Amino acid sequence: MRLQTLAPAKINVCLLLGPPRASDGRHELVTVMQSVSLHDRLVLTEHDGAADVVLCEGVDPQRNLATAAIALFRAHYGWDGPPLQLTIDKRVPVAGGMAGGSADAGGALRLLHHATGLGAPDDLEALALALGADVPSQIRPGRVLATGAGEHLQRVPGVTGYGVVIVRSELGLSTADVFREAGRLGLARSVEQLAAGLAEVQAALPDLPDALCVNELAPAALSLRPELQLRLDDLMRCGADVALVSGSGPTTVGLFRDLDAARAAAGELPNALLAKSVGPDVGEVT
């Protein structure tokens, strides 16, 4: 057996922050996520060892969400198939706010479904929440409106026409630290304010106006890493229609309607690359 899939990074085109839930402490969110062409490549094979193994250069296997995804899949479905090796060619930044680990976990579950026939995509999305709030949306890449803590998903057809310039950071930023800082700064909306934001986003989809392309976690990320503001300013100087911190950061992204300006910005800015939006077909298993 040899199966492979791509695990694309995501950007948060919109992220509205609500209050933490009493049940599990996770924040209620309204977020529109878009998969982009920057991706990891995952290859699943059987191997002769005694246990499953995940190989990913620069990432501790025991801290890799893909390792946890395989263990969760086995436990949930009671699957006792032969030991597996998952090899990840890592391109998406770790702790970069682009769901790099979550995309790998989603890709691992996708591969396991194809290898075993167990777990319909809807079931896998429900299961994946145990791994992290971003993982359910990464079972099936593309564009999605996520609510709750990320477990309620509405697929949004099509892809955006923006050129996407991704500016990577050499240092990661802990999602937990950013959410704690958001709490300290009092950034969360009330339940009523979040509901009003959701209604506004739903009315605007499938494509959002620039005014709704916001990230309400950004002030927390900028409080922890003030230098990120310079990157946002550089993206706007280079012609971006919108410049955002992606997710919890520290990756910053510029959305450009002018593709020539996007190409020029990607060539000018340090640690930048040009990407495009991609649809669900990017996650096909072969």
What pLDDT is attached to residue 41? 97
Q: pLDDT digits over 255-278, tens only?
A: 999 999 999 999 999 999 999 999
**Which residue in 201, 210, 206, 200 sits closest to 279, CA to CA?**
206
End-to-end CA distance of the chain: give it in Å, rounded: 11
- pTM of the full predicted structure? 0.91
Q: pLDDT band for position 150 (50/70/90)?
A: confident
Write out the catalytic residue numbers. Answer: 10, 134
Share of the chain above pLDDT 70, in %: 100
Distances (CA, A) of 6 to 34, 66, 130, 239, 278: 15, 13, 22, 30, 11
What CATH code is assigned to 2-283? 3.30.230.10
Stretch 5-20: mean pLDDT: 96
Cα 168–Cα 169–Cα 174 angle in degrees, nearest 5: 115
Tell me the C-alpha distance between 205 and 55, whole Å: 39
What pLDDT is attached to residue 95? 75
Domain boundaries, the chain: 2-283
